[in-house]
Amino acid sequence: MAATAIGGSATIGFVGRFYNIGIVHILAPLGLPIAFILVALWIMPRIKKYYGCNSVGDIFEISYGLPGKYTVGVVSFILMLLASLAQIEAMGLVISRLTSIPYIQSVLLSSVMLFIYTGKGGIKAVTFTDVLQFIVLAMAIPLMLGGWHSKTGWF
């Protein structure tokens, strides 16, 4: 879970935003616990009628009928398709830059890898990737901070 919550955006992107925006960028997330408490007190009691719903589509079906459910399904599909395409493009760009494979072939290779990875592995593959990402981040962050000294060891 730590690897999912602490990704590239939370490590490298956060530092850049802190540099550009300032201390406000650190203070703003402190309002999240207050927001969670307010949601628990005022919003959660009002959504009892949605108990037992397993998806956003189920919630929309109760409120708006089948057209609402289908609309949410189509919009969600488009959103996930665009997110997947962005991820495939990013993977293709990285593979292209790190190897001598042309960009188009690296995008196709990324697509095949992504479909096999998610199709064959499912949630198990996602969990494995999160663990691997956590290990890499646990090693990479101290190294990026310059914490390794050849004579003295860490820091």
pLDDT tens per residue across all 155 residues of the chain:
555 555 555 555 666 667 777 777 677 777 778 888 998 899 888 888 888 889 889 999 999 999 999 999 999 999 989 988 888 888 888 888 888 899 999 999 988 988 888 888 877 887 887 788 778 777 776 776 665 555 555 55
Report yes or no: 72 and 57 within 8 Å, Cβ to Cβ. yes
Per the structure block, which two tokens stand in for 57? Answer: 């589509």
The pLDDT assigned to 72 comes to 95
Domain residue limits, the chain: 1-49, 52-147
End-to-end C-alpha distance for the chain, whole angstroms:
27
DSSP assigned state of 55? S
Q: How far apart are CA 127 and CA 123, in angstroms?
A: 6
Q: Would you call 23 exposed, middle or buried from its count of C-beta atoms within 10 A (0-12, 13-18, 19+)?
A: exposed
Q: What is the pTM of this model?
A: 0.54
Residues in the chain, total: 155
